[in-house]
Amino acid sequence: MNNRVVITGLGICAPNGVDIASFTHALKNGISGIRFHENLAALEFGCQIGGEPAITKELLAHYFTPLQLRGLKATGIMYGVIAGVDAWKDAQLPIENKAQPAWENGIIFGTGILGVDQFREAIHLIDAKNTRRLGSTSVMQTMASGISAYLGGILGCGNQVTTNSSACTTGTEGILMAYERIKHGKATRILTGSCSDSGPYVWGGFDAMRILPRAYNDNPTQASRPMSASACGFVPGSGAGALVLESLQSALDRGATIYAEVLGGAINSGGQRGEGTMTAPNSEAVQRCITEAVADAQITKNDIDVVNGHLTATSKDGLEIENWSKALEREQLDFPYMNSFKGTVGHCLAAAGSIEAVASILQFKEGLVFKNTNCDDLNPEIEAIVHPTKIPRETIAYQPNIIAKASFGFGDVNACVIFKRFES
């Protein structure tokens, strides 16, 4: 089978918006969700800022039962359920308590580290010989597949229910996994996305590596500076993004709103060979991932008019732009519009790909290319490749036709997905 695959639902739980309307407003206007965190200062972190969704007990009560909330500490599960359920509802799909699961519906929802606060508490209880106090939810909060299990149960999905994990590439990889399953007729619709826990026990390792900015603790909204000459490290973030992927025929049959079509994509690895390492990309692999995504989508390199890059506000931003230029064989004014949303949400780790994919797709809906925040001083290495007007510092009116979204993660892993504006 070769089903066309479309996107019919979007959900978000991001540092600068926990619903689509708020998130869209923040993206249009460059509103940041990066804030100072007193607990990081108390723990004497060098970087004491981060992006964390603002959720309340009242909000959680709309998504979890009192029993589910009892002892729930895994913030990634909270974020993922909020985004996932909202995406399902946005697709106008029912949440029914039927005796039989919906065999045609599945979940592919990724994460990196899940339930780290619960795991920390469990270690202390076990070491104190208080295992009985762990509670009945400690396992489901700390297993990686806890997020897909929660969502699968809430939505009653009977198709594949699984969790993928590929560092910063997780969310983009999950979209392509869902796309392939629907394309080949193994599922009718799949809720895909990714989530990441927040807090010091997730972000501490990055602080130890000294790859987070330390000079912006008093000015957090200016700290994340993708493609900027003054970029000095990524700001850690957290949250979740979610998308409902569905066969075109199913979407048309039920009169669903269609945000975009998924044309294809590619996933690969640089094998940590050549210049590729655990933390640095193999440029040949990155370029191959982009060119293979273009080929899989059956488009030309010139068809892409907007790129949402990985672009983490580190010294590798210039190299990423160079790789895009070589892969697409385009430069200066011929280069597509390029943006990064990490200027307002930080680097949301395993959740980055899905949050940024949701943001990318909203550009179709709004007829806009969202701005690059904190990029007034464009990196000279980048300016030598791309004309500054192709890296908009203000949101511009423009109707994208094809958007490429890529993520490049720890372990030298890459994913690139191609989205197209849907035309009936």
Kindly provide the residue ranges of all beta strands, DSSP E only, lying in 44-201, ordered along the sequence.
Answer: 49-51, 105-111, 161-162, 189-196
Residue 112: give its domain's CATH number.
Answer: 3.40.47.10
Residue 417, beta-bridge partner list: 265, 405
CA-based nearest residue to 355, from 248, 200, 198: 198
Q: Are residues 414 and 383 located together in one domain of the fold?
A: yes
The pLDDT of residue 148 is 97
Q: Which of 200, 227, 253 is the last residue of a domain?
A: 253
Is the residue at 192 inside a domain?
Answer: yes
Q: Are residues 291 and 401 located together in one domain of the fold?
A: yes
Who contacts 223 (Cβ-Cβ below 8 Å, separation ≥6)?
A: 34, 49, 213, 216, 235, 374
Q: What gap in Å lies between CA 170 and CA 159, rounded to an integer? A: 20
Q: Which of 208, 225, 253 is the last residue of a domain?
A: 253
Is the residue at 170 inside a domain?
Answer: yes
Q: Are residues 244 and 311 located together in one domain of the fold?
A: no
Which pLDDT tens digit goes with each residue over 345-404?
999 999 999 999 999 999 999 999 999 999 999 999 999 999 999 999 999 999 999 999
Is the residue at 79 inside a domain?
Answer: yes
Is the residue at 258 inside a domain?
Answer: no
The pLDDT of residue 228 is 98
Q: Which of 253, 280, 312 is the last residue of a domain?
A: 253
The pLDDT of residue 116 is 84
The pLDDT of residue 256 is 98
Is the residue at 260 inside a domain?
Answer: no
Q: Are residues 353 and 316 located together in one domain of the fold?
A: yes
**SS (HEC) of 117-143:** HHHHHHHHHHHCCCHHHHCCCHHHHHC
Token reading at 341: 């949303």
Q: Are residues 293 and 372 located together in one domain of the fold?
A: yes
The pLDDT of residue 90 is 98
Planar angle of CA 182, 188, 194, nearest 5 degrees: 65
Q: Are residues 326 and 274 located together in one domain of the fold?
A: yes
Tokens 């990423």, residue located: 320
Q: Are residues 335 and 242 located together in one domain of the fold?
A: no
Contact assessment for residue 171 and residue 350, using Cβ atoms and an 8 Å cutoff: yes
Contact assessment for residue 168 and residue 86, using Cβ atoms and an 8 Å cutoff: no
Q: Are residues 359 and 300 located together in one domain of the fold?
A: yes
Handedness of CA 341, 175, 144, 281 (dihedral sign): negative
Q: Are residues 274 and 135 located together in one domain of the fold?
A: no
Q: Are residues 51 and 161 located together in one domain of the fold?
A: yes
List of the chain residues with pLDDT < 50 = none
User: Which H/E stretch holds residue 159?
Assistant: none
Q: Are residues 289 and 166 located together in one domain of the fold?
A: no
The pLDDT of residue 120 is 79
Q: Are residues 28 and 173 located together in one domain of the fold?
A: yes
The pLDDT of residue 70 is 86
Could you list the residue range(s) of the whole structural domain that residue 373 is in?
265-420
Number of domains in the chain: 2
User: Which H/E stretch holds residue 316?
Assistant: none
